[in-house]
Amino acid sequence: MRSRSVLLLAALLACASPRVSRAEDILHTERSLYRQIVVYQEGSVRCMRFTRLASARQSCVDLADRPRLVFEYLRMMIGALYLAPAPQSVLVIGLGGGTLVDALQRTLPDAAIDAVELDPAVVRVAKAYFDFQPGPRTHVHEEDGRVFVKRALRAGRRYDLVMLDAYDHEYIPEHMLTREFLEEVKGILAPHGVVAANTFSGSRLYDHESATYAAVFGRFFNLKRSNRVILLRKDGLPDTQTLRANADTLRPKLGPTGIDPAWLLSLFDTRVDWPPDARVLTDRYSPSNLLNASPP
C-alpha cells in the first residue's frame, strides 16, 4: 500500500504543471519570515514560487515580452475592467512579482494604486528580479491584507476596484476567505466598485467560497479555467452589451497584455454551480486546513 501511495504522489507531481521542465536555472532562494521564496528562469520566462516544488508558480514574467501576461488567470483578473473600464482608485492585495500591478500601471496610468503585500522579502524580490517599479501613483504597503482593509474602512477610504490575489504556499489565507472579510471589502468599495478575486476552480472550498461571495454580494461572474476568477460589481452586474462595449473600448490598451476579448468574454458566466445548502465561511467557521485547497 505504501509503494502504491508513493507512486501515485510521484505521478501527481509529474502531471501538476507540464509547462515547468527540469531545465530551470535557479536565480535566488531565501527563507523569509513567512515562506520559502525561489526565483528561477526557463528560457525568457522568469518565475517566483513559494515552495521547493517545481509544480507551483506564484508569478511569472516573460523578459522578452514584458507587457504580455504569462498566466491566464491574470488576463481573467484584468477582465474586471470590462465591468468598469476607468477606475481611478485601485487596491491590489497580494503582490507576487508585481506583474498584475505593472499591467494596471500600464493600462491605467492615471489611477491611484495601493498594493498590499504581507512579506517584505517578496517586495524586495519583485524589485530585484522582476524589475517591479512602483509608478508615481502606486504605493506599496507591507502589511496583512485584511488589516489594511480594516484600516481603510475605519478611515473612510473607497476604491473603484479591489483585486484579491493573496496566496501563501498552499492557498488563500483563511482569514481572507470569510463573510466578515468580504463585508469589510464591500465597505471600502465605491458605489460602482468592482471586485476581482483569484481562486482555484478545483478546490474543495469551491462550494463554500461561492456561497460566501453570493451571501455578501449576490450574483457574480464566474470565470473558470484551471483557476477560477470571481468578478462582481457592488451595484449589480452589467449586461452583455455593456461588457462588449467596454471590451472594444479597452482593446487598444489591453492588446499588449495578450488578452483576446472574444476568449475572455466567453468565460463570463453567472450560472450557480454550487449546492444551495453550501455552508458560508465565517471567522468562526473557516476550516481551510481541513478542506485542503490543493490546486487541480
Per-position b or e across 196-225, b if 16+ CB within 10 A of its CB: bbbbbbebebbbbbbbbbbebbeebbbbbe
Which residues, 6+ apart, have CB-to-CB distance to 145 below 8 Å?
93, 94, 116, 118, 164, 166, 173, 176
CA gap 264, 229 in Å, rounded:
11
How many CB atoms are closer than 10 A to CB 136?
A: 8
Q: Using an 8 Å Cβ cutoff, are 204 and 287 in contact? A: no
> Rounded to the nearest 10 degrees, how much is the dihedral formed by the CA atoms of 258, 139, 127, 45?
-10
Active site (annotated) includes residue 165: yes
Say which of 25, 102, 165, 283 is annotated catalytic. 165
User: At 92, phi and psi to the nearest 5?
Assistant: -120, 120
> Which residues are marked as active site?
165
